[in-house]
């Protein structure tokens, strides 16, 4: 099938750009130095490609991502880098054949994990983002409590998400170093072999932070938000639309805000300027004359939620569709 | 099952508030005066409740909504209030047992509809929103072309979406009147019995506009955006979360931006103030002490995309879950 034959809106992955992104990252963080974050794509076929690039440990944000990865057979070490007290979901993760580690940041999350068959945890540490994570000076006592509850404490994690978009690289590096000093201090109290942190925006700023593995995910597909940062990764995912209406100075394609993560604002369009999105439309000013039935290539502003809105990704090389990957880890 | 037993994030509908919203609207626009917009909920079970309230004509934004409604048996007159040139989807709509009408705004959309078995259309008119819709002074000639192509031209539609959020009601009424004068002029040239327009924000401003049917959808469930307008509809949909972490001055619940339409900004939380959303988290300042394992009730900022992110809605009365409605019209 040709790209031009896809029903729209269609999520497409430029497989050559994707392969180059995987190779670039594997060169910097080979093997278990990278724990790719599944939340950025929610796709076991894509995770299998990351495994083929050398990475067999994976990060997940939801129990369904963990369970889906476990059942797919991709990965030999799955981390739920998030807290849950849902007994049924903890049991479902514990019953997988693959080892599962969960993040804990409170006595309640420790008890829930231990009571439902989970065997391993990381102590999640607040390194400056007001979200999950225990305060660094309480990490050691939480680790003690986890061990007392029977959990293997493999180390610490801390996500410096508040620093991903610091615009200047030197400033970003300095602030990551400060943030990771909190994580190292916690690690000294907690013990274990893992210090897990980082994301696409800080992937190459961890050479002196003590971090043993980086949790990047967006690097594989990218979006306009990360695209502003001068990272060595290419835009590899697009939402293809069909032009359904042409006005006086604008065109309308059938890619709306139900097909695009909008929390980072409007998407971009190749060959034009986006005016606004509606539920099922993007209105944009095309650089050249548009015509009804033509195609528009939309670049998402935020890849993670965009992936979660589509049933499948179409894998393309040049103008040809060579595969279809189900987005099979959606939901919770 | 009790509300407190639902796995989270869970989309829940307060069925009493929902029923009151349907009754309020049916009182103002009984029967075919309202053509409820399915895009706001993407749920045939919810549409069936709208049909039970007296409405048997429905508005859809995507072919999948039309086909799903047609196969469900709900509705006796379905309108695709949107343009498409997708031959396969047009044929699928044409093959339904229920009559389907599509919007057209160009010769290309007329030809595609006629060539693929569609029998009826409305001429979509630009009434001030730069999106789809032919210019008013070209509506008559497009209607002629549609009739020449064999289509039954049932009238006109025009969506004054740019006016839904005009804050002052009198100003909104005046601008709706201006906008609808464009639609009436087009209707005079086009003919047919239908003048279709409106939405929840303007639902009761059409008594003198010549509009024969109103396309409102959000009124059934509401969101914080429409909630600011003093409309006579209650908030009836929520996303229930579990508190998974408590910090010094904030709490974190497992309702993130993958569970919430974010194009209108952050959601609200009952009993607290939202700070920010991440993929799977909302961080908020609770009014009273929060505890891990407690619940949080999140109010979406935009109902339409929020519905599209969930597999099902849980129907609740008081604290009890009385039904589960699949969100079965997702995708395209």
pLDDT digits (tens, 9 = 90+) for B226-266: 999 999 999 999 999 999 999 999 999 999 999 999 999 99
d(CA A236, CA A50): 14
Q: Identify all chain A residues contacting B244, using CB atoms and an 8 Å cutoff.
A: 82-85, 109, 132
- A258·B308 Cβ contact <8 A: yes
Contact state of B293 with A88 under an 8 Å Cβ cutoff: no
Query: A165 pLDDT exceeds 90?
Result: no
Q: Rounded to an integer, what distance in angstroms lies between the CA atom of residue B143 and that of residue B148?
A: 8
Where on the phi/psi map is residue A232: left (φ > 0), alpha (ψ -120 to 50), or beta? alpha
- Please answer whether residues B122 and B77 qualify as being in contact, where contact means their C-beta atoms are separated by less than 8 angstroms: no
Is the distance from CB of A290 to CB of A246 less than 8 angstroms?
yes
- pLDDT beyond 90 at B165: no
Residue A62: list chain B partners with CB under 8 A.
280
Q: In chain A, which residues have their Cβ closer than 8 Å to the Cβ of B304? A: 258, 279
> What per-residue confidence (pLDDT) applies to A164?
87
% of chain B residues with pLDDT over 90: 98
Buried b (16+ CB within 10 A) or exposed e, B298-324: bbbbbbbbbbbbbebbbbbeeeebeee
**What's the mean pLDDT when you consider all of chain B?**
97
Residues B74-88: pLDDT tens digits? Answer: 999 999 999 999 999
H helices present in B196-324, as ranges: 224-227, 303-308
With beta carbons less than 8 A apart as the criterion, state whether B250 and B32 touch: no
Q: What is the mean pLDDT of chain A?
A: 97
Closest-CA distance, B54 to chain A, in angstroms, reads: 26
Is the overall model pTM greater than 0.95, yes or no? yes
Q: Output the pLDDT for position B286.
A: 98
Are the beta carbons of A254 and A8 closer than 8 angstroms? yes
| CA–CA dist A62, A103 (Å, integer) | 11
pLDDT at A7: 98
B88 contacts chain A (CB < 8 A): yes
pLDDT in tens, B167-194: 899 999 999 999 999 999 999 999 999 9
- Whole-number percent of chain A with pLDDT over 70: 100
- Report whether pLDDT(A192) > 90: yes
Residues 11-50 of A with CB under 8 A from B: 39
| pLDDT tens, position by position, A19-36 | 999 999 999 999 999 999
What phi and psi values does residue B317 have, to the nearest 5 degrees? -135, 120
Q: What is the pLDDT of residue B173?
A: 94
Interface touch B248/A135, C-beta < 8 Å: yes
Mutate to test the interface with A, among B61, B108, B263 (most CBs of A within 10 A): B263
User: B258, A305: Cβ pair inside 8 Å?
Assistant: yes
pLDDT at B150: 98
Percentage of chain B modeled with pLDDT above 70:
100
Does the CB of A115 have a partner CB in chain B at under 8 Å?
no
- Residue B245, pLDDT score: 98
Q: Give A242-280 pLDDT, tens digit per residue.
A: 999 999 999 999 999 999 999 999 999 999 999 999 999
Contact in structure between A44 and A65 (CB atoms under 8 Å): no
- d(CA B31, CA B23) in angstroms, rounded, equals 11
Testing the interface with A: which of B115, B292, B329 to mutate, by most A Cβ within 10 A? B292
Residue B245 to residue A105, Cβ atoms within 8 A: yes
Say yes or no for a CB contact (<8 Å) between A86 and B245.
Answer: no
pLDDT bucket at B164, cuts 50 / 70 / 90? confident
Average pLDDT over residues A217-229: 97
Q: Chain A contact for B301, CB < 8 A?
A: no
Chain A residues within an 8 Å CB radius of B9: 332
Q: Rounded to an integer, what distance in angstroms lies between the CA atom of residue B155 and that of residue B256?
A: 42
Interchain CB distance below 8 Å, B7 and A130: no
B223 touches chain A (CB under 8 A): no
β B10-14/B237-246 pair status: antiparallel
The per-residue pLDDT for A250 is 97
Confidence class for position A156, pLDDT limits 50, 70, 90: very high
Q: How far apart are CA A123 and CA A19, in angstroms?
A: 33
Instruction: Tell me if A282 sits within 8 A of A241, measured CB to CB.
Output: yes
What is the band of A60 on the pLDDT scale with cuts at 50, 70, 90? very high
Provide the pLDDT for residue B232: 98
Euclidean distance between CA atoms B133 and B139, whole angstroms: 9
* Residue A35 to residue B135: CA distance in whole angstroms: 54
Burial A278-303 (b: 16+ CB within 10 A, else e): bbbbbbbebeeebebebbbbbbbbbb
Contact B283 A8 (CB under 8 A): no
Q: How confident is the model at residue A305 (pLDDT cuts 50, 70, 90)?
A: very high
ipTM above 0.90, yes or no: yes
Predicted pLDDT at A177: 96
Quote the CA–CA distance of B325 and B46 in Å, as a whole number. 8
Selected for mutation to probe chain A from B244, B260, B308 (highest A CB count within 10 Å) is: B244
Q: Across the strands, what pairs with B313?
A: B325
- Count chain A–chain B contacts defined by CB atoms under 8 A: 150
Domains in chain A, please, with CATH?
3-11+232-326 (2.40.37.20), 30-215 (3.20.20.10)
Start-to-end Cα distance in chain A: 33
Which residue's entry shows tokens 């010094």?
A: B248
Q: With contacts defined as CB-CB under 8 Å, which chain A residues touch B250?
A: 130
Q: B150: left (phi > 0), else alpha (psi -120 to 50), else beta?
A: left
A 135-164: CB under 8 A from B? 135, 161
Q: Is B56 left (phi over 0), alpha (psi -120 to 50) or beta?
A: alpha
What is the tens place of the pLDDT at every residue in B104-148? 999 999 999 999 999 999 999 999 999 999 999 999 999 999 999
Query: Is A279 in contact with B304 (Cβ distance < 8 A)?
Result: yes
Cα torsion B49, B52, B54, B56: sign:
positive
* Integer CA distances (angstroms), B224 to B97, B265, B280, in order: 38, 10, 20
User: Given CB atoms, is A218 within the 8 Å cutoff of chain B?
Assistant: no
- Taking the C-alpha atoms of residue B295 and residue B257, their distance in angstroms, rounded to an integer, is 17
For chain A, say whether B89 makes contact (Cβ under 8 Å).
yes
pLDDT at B143: 98
* Mean pLDDT for the stretch of residues A286-309: 98
Q: Which of A315, A61, A131 lies closest to B279 in space, CA to CA?
A: A61
- Chain B residue numbers with beta carbons less than 8 Å from the beta carbon of A304 are 258, 279
């Amino acid at each position: 099938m040709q790209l031009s034959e896809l029903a729209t809106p269609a999520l497409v992955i430029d497989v050559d750009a994707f392969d180059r992104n995987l190779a670039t990252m594997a060169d910097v963080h080979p093997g278990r130095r990278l724990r790719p974050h599944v939340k950025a794509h929610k796709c076991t076929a894509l995770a299998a490609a990351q495994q083929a690039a050398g990475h067999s440990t994976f990060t997940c944000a939801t129990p369904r991502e963990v369970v889906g990865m476990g059942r797919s057979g991709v990965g030999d070490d799955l981390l739920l880098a998030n807290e849950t007290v849902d007994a049924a979901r903890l049991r479902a993760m514990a019953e997988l054949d693959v080892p599962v580690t969960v993040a804990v940041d409170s006595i309640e999350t420790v008890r829930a994990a231990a009571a439902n068959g989970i065997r391993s945890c990381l102590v999640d540490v607040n390194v400056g983002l007001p979200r999950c994570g225990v305060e660094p000076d309480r990490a050691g006592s939480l680790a003690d409590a986890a061990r007392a509850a029977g959990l293997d404490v493999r180390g610490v994690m801390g996500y410096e998400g508040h620093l991903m978009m610091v615009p200047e690289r030197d400033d970003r590096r300095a602030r990551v170093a400060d943030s990771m000093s909190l994580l190292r201090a916690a690690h000294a109290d907690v013990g274990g072999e893992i210090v897990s942190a980082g994301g696409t925006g800080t992937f190459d700023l961890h050479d002196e932070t003590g971090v043993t593995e980086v949790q990047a995910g967006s690097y594989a597909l990218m979006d306009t938000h990360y695209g502003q940062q001068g990272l060595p990764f290419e835009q590899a995912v697009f939402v293809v639309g069909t032009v359904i209406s042409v006005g006086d100075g604008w065109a309308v394609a059938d890619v709306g805000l139900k097909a695009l993560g909008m929390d980072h604002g409007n998407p971009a369009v190749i060959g034009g300027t986006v005016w606004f999105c509606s539920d099922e439309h993007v209105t944009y000013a095309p650089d050249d004359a548009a015509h009804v039935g033509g195609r528009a290539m939309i670049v998402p502003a935020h890849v993670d939620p965009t992936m979660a809105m589509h049933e499948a990704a179409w894998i393309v090389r040049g103008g040809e569709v060579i595969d279809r990957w189900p987005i099979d880890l959606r939901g919770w």
